[in-house]
A and B are shown apart, each in its own frame.
Chain A
Amino acid sequence: MRLRIKSWDNLFFQIFVNVFLASVLLAIAIPIWRVFMMSLTPLGYLDDKTFGLWIPPWQWSFEAYKQLFSHPAFARATYNSVMITLGGTAISMALTTPLAYVLSNPRLPGRRFLIVVILVPFLFQAGLIPTYLVVQRLGLVDNLFAIMLPAAVSVTNTMVMKGFFEGLPEELEEAARLDGANDLQVLWHVILPLSKPILLTISLFYTVALWNEFFTPILYLNSNKLMPLPVLLRNILMAANINEYVESDAFSNAPIQAFKAASVFITMLPMVIIYPWIQRYFTKGTLLGGVKE
């Protein structure tokens, strides 16, 4: 008798839990799916029944994508985004990795001082304007480096990486030192080859942040030709007149909403493509930086 009651309890509980999960799944998937469907809407397509959630595949129109890809503004913005993301990640990693390694050396005199040096600005932010003045003074306004440099080192990422380095067996370093390697050689030949997972994780952290950057480009860049994809996307979404961004004959091929949806989807795509890696490494990295007992 008792067992039966318990299994009923179990069954109801499982139904409840899984219905909840399914509704979360739908709540997240439906908006993204709708963007995708809208981007494929052919011109003059009328749909009253499915609220734009379903267009039969034989009616799909890729005109909006074709128009966007063939437009020079889009190619330029993509190029800028790629430059910012790759260049920025390279700079960030080149600064973060040695810093994390140096901080992970427990015997280094002055290590605590260095930690205080990086923590003070982390806890107390000077704010937007004082940083803007520095960038302006350096002559970086209207230069892609203004996007890559001011936030190049993330304290959180540095600490996660430092934690990883601290966990590596010390014997390996000692062995290399006995063979006459200096610290730089130890880092390059011993530590880095062992640290591929963390290097990938942190690179991905930086890559995602840089790819998604849109405020600093608006803040620091003036010329339209330097703007990355997210800024172009914002302009397209807010544009009353979409003619600036697609060929003037565009309207004959695809509705405005399809252009907007297609540009959302294109900007989203690189993240979706690298998402399997992101998911694997980010989860680990977040836990590394998060709960550490």
Chain B
Amino acid sequence: MKDILIRRTLADRPPNKVDQKRNLAPLWKNIVKYRWLYLMVIPALAYFIIFQYLPLWNAQIAFKDFKPLLGVWRSPFTGFDHFITFFKSFYFDQLISNTIIISLLKLVLGIPMAIALALALYETTFKRFRSLVQTVAYLPHFLSWVIMFGVLLMMLSPGDGLINAIIKSSGGKPIAFLTSPDWFRFVVIASDIWKETGWATIIYLAALMGIDSTLFEAAQVDGASRLQRIWFISLPGILPVIVILTMLRLGHILNAGFNQIFVLYSLPVYSVGDIIDTWVYRSGILDFQLSLATAVGLFKGVIGLVLILIANRVAKRIAGYTLY
């Protein structure tokens, strides 16, 4: 979850009106005064123009029949044709449902798991054991999905994967987890939880550490059991953080984990594993349907933006924070 960014407000309060008026008049003077800062920001600004804003400009090919020889601007205009093609196509339902099902299951199963692990780490009295578990549990976050693919093969392959070796030795039939439509989503979700749960505890642990310890002492005096203390103090104490992270994840619900699925999936499991991003890659880059793929990407971008803004609103209302 590298993109976690929860801040009260990104920009500080706007300068007050008196300041603004004074700043507007001698514009040139300001530019001279701050010339080094403006010069310093030019490389980064150039980066944003070239690699962030030019793509936004190029996104117009979603409304055009893009011909590489004519270029982005002069390609013939087609309006919403590509969007309509996509909405009417048989893969529309499949892509949307795969994306949302995989995303939601990761969220619904992953967040409670992370909270449980954080609570266990917080409650254990063995300090060294705790840091050992933390060290091991954080590690998979830093491994790429290609490495994870290797690890999963060693665990799941029908030939000599560990799980299948155990199944075989107890008389069962080996299961082709990675290529079977019945199992693929399970593998995707379980491996995501395996990889990211440890790392996700960091933020919950920090929130737990932030709870006023006198609350726990008072509960102890009142005779509350351990579980009662978790239920009535720890969980309510970290509830704002839980709400924020859930909202953030919901805002990114259309990102079902492109890198992961790109590595793990194969033709037999497209029906249950193909998500918007993988389809955009295949149709755009491999099949050269550049305009159609751009339209689908743009559709995802617009929905994503709306979801993020809604999530931001909700989080602000419930927990008093803003995400960005």
Contact = CB atoms under 8 A, between A and B. Distances in A.
Interface string B77-95: 0000000000000000000
Interface string B153-165: 1110000101001
Contacts of B301: 124-127
Given A25-B132, A134-B58, A290-B6, A31 B207 contact: no
Interface residues of B, number: 108
B40 A292 contact: no
A214 to B, nearest CB: 5
Interface in B1-37: 2-8, 10-12, 14, 23, 27, 30, 34, 36-37
Contacts of A289: 4-5
Nearest to A115: B11
A99 to B, nearest CB: 4
Nearest to B210: A291
Contacts of A257: 154, 160
Nearest to A237: B150
Contacts of B2: 154, 156, 205, 209
B103 interface: no
Given A109-B34, A275-B142, A233 B137 contact: no
A127 B280 contact: yes
B132 A98 contact: no
Contacts of A21: 117, 120-121, 124, 129-130, 133
Given A17-B123, A112-B14, A127 B6 contact: no
Nearest to B117: A24
A272 interface: yes
Contacts of B6: 290-292
Contacts of A243: none
Interface in A196-227: 205, 208-209, 211-215, 219
B129 to A, nearest CB: 7
Contact of A129 (B12, B48, B293): B293
A31 B155 contact: yes
Given A21-B133, A102-B40, A115-B10, A51 B150 contact: no
B284 interface: yes
Interface in A95-129: 95-96, 98-99, 101-102, 105-106, 108-109, 111-112, 114-115, 117-119, 121-129
A233 B146 contact: yes
A53 interface: yes
A108 B23 CA distance: 10
A127 B308 contact: no
A152 B8 contact: no
Contacts of B130: 21
B258 A48 contact: no
A174 interface: no
A25 B55 contact: no
A246 interface: no
Interface in B274-302: 277, 280-281, 284-285, 290, 293-294, 297-298, 300-302
A13 interface: yes
Contacts of B180: none
B203 A267 contact: no
A38 B4 CA distance: 36
Nearest to A149: B51
Contacts of B281: 128, 219
A282 B134 CA distance: 13
Given A17-B123, A215-B258, A126 B137 contact: no
B265 interface: no
Interface stretch (A54-62, A63-71, A82-90, A181-189): A181-189
Contacts of A268: 143, 147
Given A150-B51, A152-B47, A219 B285 contact: yes
A152 B3 contact: no
B12 A106 contact: yes
Contacts of A183: 34, 36-37, 40
Contact of B144 (A18, A126, A128, A214): A214
A187 B142 CA distance: 31
A271 B55 contact: no
A126 B259 CA distance: 18
Contact of B48 (A51, A102, A153): A153
B206 interface: yes
Nearest to B204: A291
A21 B302 CA distance: 41
Given A126-B52, A130-B55, A152-B47, 9 more contacts: A17-B123, A28-B140, A34-B155, A115-B11, A122-B324, A124-B56, A128-B280, A154-B2, A260-B150
